[in-house]
Structure 1
């Protein structure tokens, strides 16, 4: 029975991995490929479409706390079921929209409810199934979901060539309704480990919980660090290729930027295989420090190809770990009770900080130049890790965490 239970949980991770690939692929990575075609159809500037998308992301930040509380109350898999159905219907609305404003309304709806089907919901579903010992499953899930861009960039291009952008959105609706929805329905029927009669006792937390007196300041520290790092990731995510071009890589910038993906997958694999005993706060420190170190490489006067490749790989390390620690750090510090609501509150703060980051980075480049913008990003990255350094020192002093990584 225990072996059967373990196999069922393994299939649950794989199922969530598939739905995350579909979710991030269709709702995020496909968008920039579809934008030129949609803009041409509705005779709108591409910038306007990106504004709609950004507003949708901001709406998703505001709905995240509400959806997080719903996950705690009803179970994340159930929320993911109706989320998949709603996303599939909204994608059909996008595909059939006869005018721009109906298209924009459907896109806003998709992004507003996307929290119900993406990482935060998937992490909450794993915590429901595994309890406090879900950290490894979170890492495994992000390792699978890391292939979303690799799969959906060429898939979206092929769908547009075959059926146009409307056909691509219709295909995404079929994928969500025909694959993601049934998988989430199945997950909703998988009993939590703590309710399984074959399990002798609930899975214990992997790390000592925080004392009650530390919980509020710890949450503030985590929220501040994740929000600032998220803003840095969002800014560079949009402007990476132009910045690499400006520092001297020229036409090689795109090829160098492609190193981000392999670095993301590699660091997640390292975390899954070798960092099982490392506290998630320490992993968050590695993630946070990777970003300013990446920027420092561009400012250090190294050969441009070495500096650019180092920047792309370190940025991939920081971004790859950031997806893991957004789920594992709250679980380790605060436990599984109220986990969904806590993720929702963190998502709101992270989204508020990240929403204006691409525009802010563009403004810095325009006013200070690329070098000045890089110096500003370096200081922002260093400030972002200060709350985690403080938290780690406090935890070590309280005996919750060893004084070394």
Structure 2
């Protein structure tokens, strides 16, 4: 195994902590707090989720601008300012006098979330760990994968003890801690693992981006964006309605047990990426992720024992979703390099968010207007199209000598 410089673990661990807080307070706490908010403001819970969707959609339009800032002034500064802004907005949210103020603040939080979540963190790792970004991203997602495990019960406990307003104040304080950690990261020196000594085992390959013509690079980016967006739409539609889908299999309370498999499956597959697949090109992992999503959704349409299908579906779906978090940062770095990564991630996030914001609503509409099977079939069509885009991208880049064949495994370390 390659030796790790002393500062690497604190950087990844600190980013992991801020991602747990970010995803936990911005996303996973929302459905837990929604009933109390809806009751106080006398609105429906679907209305609150509509506000969340509107924020996600508008956040997609803001992502390219925030992405350019990551490149221009550095991810550390952007994440510091973003965390401080989140703290201020959450304080204001706790004091919101009416649903109009609450809605405006919720939408603004979602618009600015790009500055503190995965895409910004991936840019940070690319800037601070240029020689081992893929490995650092995998480790980061392993840590951040516990956000739901921590924040679902934590949010429930807090809202019971101090109400939703008090809970938002606690979250605001946690974002001030994130701001301090992100500010500290701005002073972390850039370290390139390619120069690190090793002990007994040879390090995994550091995928150096190949030189592409402008036409090849543009086609690669568009196919990557399409693949990410379509696969993301399928993941979003299915995971948001996960329990509802499983209950349609007539599992009763076992549907909740099957749904709980999703989280451990995400963590397990990220461990696989860090060990078994660490020598594979990230595009191979992206295709594996898309194929897992397709396989999981197909299971829902097959006859057979409902319990077995449900647990297998949740496990494979979790694996695909777990890998998708890694590849959305690792693939752009491997194909295009770290230069301009923030803007590139911003554009990818914009396409993904704008296309994906409507998928949970469209899935619910299809299930109500036609049937759950029809809605699942539509999600499958999206997943298949996303996988096809990834495979076409792989074939195009392989023909140009930019990526290796899918079945190949590198035996020597690639260097610049």
Q: TM-score, normalised by structure 1?
A: 0.95
164-173 vs 273-282, which moves further: 273-282
Q: 2:182 aligns with which of 181, 184, 209?
A: 184
State the distance in 1 between where 2:86 and 2:250 align: 42
Once residues 278 and 208 of structure 2 are traced to their aligned partners in structure 1, the CA distance between those partners, rounded to angstroms, is: 11
2:202 corresponding residue in structure 1 = none
Instruction: Give 1:132 shift.
Output: 4.8
Which residue matches 2:410? none
Report the equivalent of 1:121: 120
Instruction: Tell me the residue number matched to 1:64.
Output: 63
Q: What is the CA deviation profile of residues 71-111 of structure 1, one whole-angstrom value per residue up to 9, with x for unaligned ones?
A: 00000011000001000000001111111111111111111
Kindly report which structure 2 residues correspond to 1:218-257, keeping only aligned pairs within 5 A, or say none. Answer: 218-257=220-259
User: Where do residues 283-322 of structure 1 align in structure 2 (5 Å cutoff)?
Assistant: 283-322=285-324
Contact 1:57 1:355 in 2 (8 A): yes
Partner residue of 1:145? 144
Tell me the residue number matched to 1:386: 388
Aligned residues: 398
Residue 332 of structure 2 corresponds to residue 334 of structure 1: no
Shift of 1:205: 4.9
Stretch deviating more after TM superposition (232-241 or 204-213): 204-213
- Aligned partners of 1:230 and 1:350 also within 8 Å: yes
Query: Residues 160 and 167 of structure 1 are in contact (CA less than 8 Å); yes or no, is this contact kept in structure 2?
Result: yes
Query: Do the aligned residues in 1 keep the contact of 2:233 with 2:382 (CA within 8 Å)?
Result: no
Which of 256, 273, 276 is 1:274 aligned to? 276
Q: Which structure shows the bigger proportion of residues in helix conformation?
A: 1
Aligned-pair RMSD on alpha carbons?
1.9
Alpha-carbon distance, 1:181 to partner: 1.1
Counterpart in the other structure of 2:28: 29
Question: CA offsets per residue over residues 306-343 of structure 1, 9 Å max, x none?
Answer: 11111111110111011000000100111111000000
Sort the Cα spacing of 1:343 and 1:208 in 2 relative to 1 into closer, same or farther, 3 A.
Answer: closer
Q: Residues of 2 paired with 1:48 and 1:237: CA distance?
A: 20
CA displacement at 1:368 relative to structure 2: 2.6
Mean Cα deviation higher: 363-372 or 68-77: 363-372
State how 1:5-16 maps to structure 2 within 5 Å: 6-16=5-15
Q: Are residues 1:209 and 2:207 paired?
A: no
**Alignment partners' CA distance in 2, 1:322 and 1:120:** 13
CA distance in 1, matches of 2:304, 2:68: 48
Q: Structure 1 stretches of 5 or more lacking a match?
A: none
Match of 2:191 in 1: 193
Cα distance, 1:235 vs structure 2: 0.6
Q: How high is the TM-score relative to the length of structure 2?
A: 0.92
CA contact (8 A) 2:130 2:191 kept: yes
**d(CA) in 2 for partners of 1:14, 1:157:** 26
